[in-house]
Amino acid sequence: MTFPLRSRLSRTILVLSLAFSLLLLLMAVDAAYGDDLSSTDPSSAGISAIRLGQMEQAIKPESSRRLPVFSLHGTEN
């Protein structure tokens, strides 16, 4: 289904303005409440500090780790 140019343009402007408004709202909430967040010891939340450290090391990118890159045809580079 095709829409007239005017309808598509007005819909695009509406979507962009809603997205921009949401971004501004999130920034305002972060500025108002961002400093109130506190950190705590992992063990007080029932998380093993050793296991958490292992997960952080697994997630952290390393220069020696090489991830496979796939081309458009699905072959590994």
Residue 42, Cβ density class (10 Å: 0-12 exposed, 13-18 middle, ≥19 buried): middle
Write out the E strands in the chain: none
Structural domain contains residue 43: no
For residue 33, what pLDDT is reported? Answer: 79
Taken as a whole, the chain contains a residue count of: 77
Structural domain contains residue 59: no
Structural domain contains residue 19: yes
Domain count, the chain: 1
Residue 53: closest CA among 41, 39, 63, 65: 41
Structural domain contains residue 7: yes
Structural domain contains residue 2: yes
Tens digit of each residue's pLDDT (9 = 90 or more) over 1-25: 565 667 888 889 999 999 999 999 9
Q: What is the domain extent for residue 6?
A: 1-32
Report pTM. 0.40
For residue 15, what pLDDT is reported? Answer: 94
Structural domain contains residue 16: yes
Q: What is the C-alpha radius of gyration for the chain, rounded to an integer number of angstroms? A: 23
Structural domain contains residue 21: yes
Structural domain contains residue 13: yes
